[in-house]
Chains A and B, each alone.
Chain A
Amino acid sequence: MAKRIGLFVCWCGSNIGGVIDVPKVVEITKNFPGVAYATDYKYMCSEPGQDTIIKAIKEHNLDRVVVASCTPRLHEPTFRKTIAKAGLNPYMFEMANIREQCTWVHSDDKEGATQKAIALIKRALAKVSRVEPLFESYIPVTKKALVIGGGIAGMQVAIDIADAGHQVILVEREPTIGGKMAMLDKTFPTLDCSA
C-alpha cells in the first residue's frame, strides 16, 4: 500500500514563522514523495493545532505523520498522543526540529534557514517512510523499595515510602543508622538536637 504521509509545519508564533518563509516551505515539501497532505498552523501543539492533525488524518486517510516544529524533547509525546487519538499507532510519527536546529540559530540568514528547514523536513519524510508500528510491552512491578544508606536522607526516604504503604529495606553499613547527623551536636539554623 502506498504511504500516505501528513506533513504539518508549525510557525511557533514568530519563533519559526518570523525567520523562514513557512508558506513557501509547505508549497515545496507537499510535492515530496509520499506526502498526501501538507499544511501549516500558528501553534501546532495548541488544541486547535492538534485538532487540525486529527481532522486531516481522518479526511485524507493518512497513515503516518511528520510535524516540523520544535525539539522532540518537548512535544514528541504530545503529538504521539494526538495521532493515537486519530487511531494511528503513536510511533508512526517523526519530528523535524526546525526551531532549535534551524530558526533559532540562523535568524540572520532567512533564505538559508528556509532551505535548511526544507532539508530537515526531507530527512524526516525519509525516516517516517520506513517506520513501522511499535507496541509497548508491560513488565510487572515488585512493590518494595531498597534504600542504601541510613543517614538522615535514607531514613527520611524510608519513612515516607513506608508511610505511603509500601515495604522498605533500609541497608546501613555501620552498626547504627543516623549517618553524620547523629554525630553532630545541635544543628543550624534552629540549634535543636540532632539524634
Chain B
Amino acid sequence: MVAAAQHPNIQLMTYSEVTEVNGYIGNFEVTIRQKPRYVDHKLCTGCGTCTEKCPTKVPSEYDLGIGNRKCIYINFPQAVPNKPVIDAENCRYFKTGKCGVCKKICPTGAVDFEQKEEFITEKVGAIVMATGFDLFNWEDAYGEYGYGRFKNVITGLHFERMSNASGLTGGKIIRPSDGKEPKSVVFIKCVGSRDEAKGKEYCSRACCMYTAKHAHQVIDKIEGSSAYVFYMDVRTPGKAYDEFYRRTVEEGAQYIRGRVSKIYESGDKLIVMGTDTLLGRPVTVEADLVVLATAMVPSEGSDKIAQLVSCPTDKDGFFAEAHPKLRPVETMTGGLFLAGACQGPRDIPDTVSQASGAAVKVVALLNNDQLATDPMISQIDEKMCSGCLVCKGVCPYKAISEKTITERIGGKPVERVVASVNTGLCQGCGNCTVACRAGAANLKGFTNQQVLAEVDTLCR
C-alpha cells in the first residue's frame, strides 16, 4: 500500500470519484471529484489528537458495524494516507454548529470545516477498472439463517475484522452478542453462491479457501474449540491450496457435506440443523458463532461506473472481458482494461497476476506515440443526412454527435444539423448504418452497396 502511495509516478487520489469520462483510446478526458475531507492533508501530520478527543461515536463501516469509530477518523492503523477525514453526516459541528473540538485542539490547524469538493480534469491514454467486489446481501435471501436477526450469525468478512490483530478486538475472536469467546463455531459455505434460487449461479472461488483458513484460525486461537464446516464441495485448485485444506482437516476441523436447512436460537446458543448427505442422516450442531461464506458480487455502484466509461458487463454485472480465453484483461472498448474481482470472483494470487497482465497491456499502449485506427468505420454522407440522429441513439460507443453545417439554398446560407462520426470512438459495428433511414450512414469497406451486391448475386 505504501509502495503505491509513495511511487513518484503515481498520483494517489483517495476519497475521490470519477464523475465523467469522454474521449477514446489514447485520448480520454476524465473528471474526478475530490470529496471534502474537512482536513487539510498538507497541514495534517496524522498525530491523531483530533480522533482521540472527538466526542461523537458512530458504528464503523470498516469494521462492518462490530465496533465504533469517531466522527473524525482513520479507518485502520496502517491506512494510506494515514490522515483523518470528517464524516460530515454525523459530525456535531455540521449538525448543530457546536463542538469543533477537533479544530480547537489540532496543533497544525489542519481541520477546515469550509473545505469544498473539488473537480479535477485530467487527460489519460488508458483506463483500468479495478473496482473489486462486495458481498452478497444474504439478509434479504436466507430466512433459514435468520435474515440477519441473530447477532451471532456473521459473514466471513466480519470474522476477518475480528481476527485481524489491528482490528477492534485486537485479533480476538468473540461473539458479537456478549463478547465471549466462542467454543463451537459453524461455517457455512456457498451462501448465495451456486444457488440459482436464492443467490447467484456461479462459484465465488475464494470462499472454500478462506473458510479453511478461518476454521484453522478458530482451532489455532481458541483452546478447546471445535470448528464445523458445512459444504457442498471443497474446491481448492491452486498451488499449495489442497494441502492447506487437508492440514485444516488434520487439525480437527469437521467437514460435513450438506446444506444447512435451519438455524434458531436456544438460550445463548445457535442450533444449526442440516443433513449430512454422505451419511444420509440429519445432523444438529450447537454453535456459539455461525460464519457464512457469502458470495462475491460486483461492488456497489459498479453499474454506474460501467455506464460512465462504456464498459460492457456480463449477466451478473461483472465487467466483461473481450474474450474469455484470449483477451481476459481487455474489454471491447479500446483503451479500457480490467483487473481483479471486478471482472469476476477471484482470490489475491489471481488478482495480482491479472493486474500485472493488465499493466503490460496498458504499457504496450502507452509506449506508442500514435495509434493507427481501423479505417473500416462509419461515415456520414452529409448531403443525405436528414439530421434525425437515430444513429446517435443506437451507437453503443457514443461515437456519434451532432454538428451544424451551413448550406447554400437558393443562394442563401442555411444552417442545418447533421450527424458526425468520431473516428477515434467508432468501432465499425454497423448499428448506425442499419438504423439510418436516409442511407447516409455507411461503413467504409462494408458499404450498403457492397452488401446489396452480395445479396443480389446470391439471388440470381
Contact = CB atoms under 8 A, between A and B. Distances in A.
B122 A154 contact: no
A60 interface: no
A8 B290 CA distance: 69
A148 B244 contact: no
Given A130-B447, A152-B352, A187-B348, A167 B370 contact: no
B278 interface: no
A184 interface: yes
B6 to A, nearest CB: 10
B199 interface: no
Interface stretch (A13-21, A47-55, A134-142): A134-142
B125 A141 contact: yes
A56 interface: no
Nearest to A144: B124
B414 interface: no
B26 A140 contact: yes
B350 to A, nearest CB: 10
B453 A129 contact: yes
Contacts of B348: 152, 181, 187, 194
Contact of B74 (A157, A164, A175, A189): A175
A193 B429 CA distance: 48
Given A146-B128, A148-B129, A178-B80, A170 B12 contact: yes
A167 B11 contact: yes
A172 interface: yes
B62 interface: yes
A114 to B, nearest CB: 16
A190 B445 CA distance: 55
B453 A126 contact: yes
Contacts of A173: 15-17
B166 A169 contact: no
B76 A157 contact: no
B238 to A, nearest CB: 7
Given A157-B337, A160-B359, 7 more contacts: A91-B376, A138-B370, A151-B351, A153-B342, A157-B355, A171-B16, A185-B167
Interface of B: 1, 3-5, 7-18, 24-28, 30, 32, 37, 62, 73-76, 78-81, 84-85, 122-133, 157, 160-161, 163-167, 171, 209-210, 212-213, 217, 238-241, 243-244, 299, 305, 309, 337, 339-342, 347-348, 351-352, 354-356, 358-360, 362-363, 365-366, 368-376, 423-424, 444-445, 447, 449-451, 453-454, 456-458
